[in-house]
Chain A
Amino acid sequence: MDLQTILSKYPPQPQYLIEMLIDVDDATEQHYVSEDELRTIAAYVGVRDSQVYSVMSFYTMLSTTPRGKYVIQVCKDVPCYLNDDFNVLKTIQDELAIGIGDTTPDQLFSLELTACIGCCDEAPAMRVNHETYTNLSDEKVRSILESYRSGLL
């Protein structure tokens, strides 16, 4: 979806800023909102660029810097931690050789932490873009990454 199509889904009012920003982030292969897009959105809803920046920086789902094609978010909260007997995060770091907040050199994966995503009954859990993966095991994590790498997912 291009920017104009996204904007046309919403009335030109500041209250729809967050909705538009989420859509742009989704539609972009690198999951971010560029400066140009940000300015266009600000003009569309009639607010200053700085207001859009302040919204962007407040919400963790939004990014102003390019990320990988697949953004991995590992849940860090207690119910997941209690059920994480093999260390999800370390397994992923092992596979991808990147730190938290980093993107792989091929721009395929970014690694982030997330607060509880409401799947504590199937802990441990993580998200890849908008897909949720639960009841993780070491093999399961590795095979999920492999499926994304090989384009199966």
Chain B
Amino acid sequence: MIERKELTKRFGVIDPLSIEDYINHDGYEMLKQAITMTPEAIREEVRLSRITGRGGAGFPTAIKMNSFAAEKGEKFIVCNADEGEPGNFKDRYLMEQDPHQIIEGMLISALATGATYGYIYIRGEYRKAIAIMKEAVTEARLYNMLGTHILGSSFTFDIEVRRGAGAYVCGEEFALIESLEGKAGRTRVKPPYPAQRGMFQHPTLINNVETFCNLPFILRIGGAEYAKIGSEYASGTKLISLSGNVRNKGLYEVPYGRTIREVIETLGGGTNTGRPIKMVQLGGACGAIIPDELLDMDIDNERFEMFDSKMGAGAIIVIDDSHDLFDIILRNMEFFAHESCGKCTPCREGHIQLVRLVRKFVDRVATMDDYISLKSLADVIHETTLCGLGQTSPTSILSTMEFFHEDYLDRIQNNKEVRP
């Protein structure tokens, strides 16, 4: 068994709109337990679990939680459900299939940190998820899981569902905060970090949907037990969004430590075309493109850092050998050119130039000079942009220059202007 269903165990089993169903499948049990615990004790379980953020950056959740918990006064928790990275759909399923799990996770986080109010920021395109989350919040209030004196305790917390309006960059923490404040989603300079000064200058803790969903699970089995699931590099399970040229596209929950090949071959059933795999893009448009030989790597974040790239939010996009590498890269770069918020110059101007250069490779008119320009521009964008968008966007170029070097050389040597 490769799969291990913990966060997805209620999928298809309960009616997502029925809080009773959720309660009958041990829902809100961990909220009850958390109410009896001290904030420090909850945070200690999170620390022991070794969990890292599931939104893409893989930052240790306990560190962020602790620094936020140390802040005083009115402070907010934000659930990041902007999910715009191409190839990712896990948060949509979590919202549509088990919305109360997210609410319970946010409540546990609030108890652990002293947060007073919560927001769920959902991309506007996710109509169904928005409707379900709103309904779930309303029901949770009726059952006194939200509001004042929650379950008879002195704990008070409420949640508001907010919509985005079509901007990938709003998944970035400060852009998201700007958007929540009703503005264009342009990032802010860090530090200070949101945990110190975020929404309306109040301390703000932002976590991904899947990260929140892990909190009830961590309390249920205990942080130490949780830490045993997975590999020495990353603990717990990961939701994988599997797409592209693969037979069984879909959402899978697997423990860290399984390999990419296992996911593609065993769960995905290999390519749907019967053709060999040419390459696999990991994480989404911002992730590395790797060749078949590297598919035996584990799906964990830390080990991926040697490629200066990560598993990100867990997308695996399978691409068979009928597709051109440069076509794929071009689509990635067009995406970023469109989604750049325009605040910093290397990102705003840089992506336009990347598109122009990659198109030359697609059109078979690229020269060695173009290759050198492409490389140095990708490096500059990676190193000088203000937020994670530009820091990660050139990954598909930089990784393929390493792993598919021959393809670049071949394209340059078969330049149709030089050799018609």
Contact = CB atoms under 8 A, between A and B. Distances in A.
A19 B162 contact: yes
A130 interface: yes
Given A16-B182, A61-B124, A114-B125, A78 B165 contact: no
Given A22-B163, A79-B244, A118 B182 contact: no
A139 B334 CA distance: 29
Interface residues of B, number: 53
Interface in A64-116: 76-79, 81-83, 114-116
B1 to A, nearest CB: 21
Interface string A28-69: 000000000000000001000001001101111110000000
Given A15-B180, A15-B182, A22-B124, A120 B166 contact: no
A118 B82 CA distance: 10
A61 B125 contact: yes
Size category of the A interface is 35 or more
Contact of A79 (B86, B91, B164): B86
A117 B285 contact: no
B163 A19 contact: yes
A55 B184 contact: yes
A11 to B, nearest CB: 11
B207 interface: no
A116 B84 contact: yes
Contact of A82 (B89, B124, B184, B245): B245
A120 B249 contact: yes
A123 B88 CA distance: 12
B126 interface: yes
A77 B85 CA distance: 10
Contacts of A58: 167, 184-186, 341
A114 B185 CA distance: 18
B357 to A, nearest CB: 19
B181 A78 contact: no
Interface in B118-174: 123-128, 162-168
B331 A118 contact: no
B416 interface: no
A145 interface: no
A118 B244 contact: no
A54 B184 contact: yes
Contact of A123 (B179, B183, B249): B249
Give the one of A81, A121, A123, A130 with max B CB within 10 A: A121
Given A19-B163, A60-B166, A127 B125 contact: yes
B250 interface: yes
A136 interface: no
A119 interface: yes
A60 to B, nearest CB: 4
A51 B128 CA distance: 29
Interface in A125-146: 127, 130, 132
A59 B92 CA distance: 20
Contacts of A130: 127
B243 interface: yes
A17 interface: yes
A85 B151 CA distance: 54
Contacts of B186: 58
Interface of A: 13-19, 21-22, 45, 51, 54-55, 57-62, 76-79, 81-83, 114-123, 127, 130, 132
12 contacts: A17-B183, A55-B184, A58-B184, A61-B124, A61-B165, A78-B328, A79-B86, A79-B244, A79-B317, A82-B245, A115-B168, A116-B88
Given A77-B86, A82-B319, A118-B83, 4 more contacts: A76-B335, A78-B328, A118-B125, A121-B251
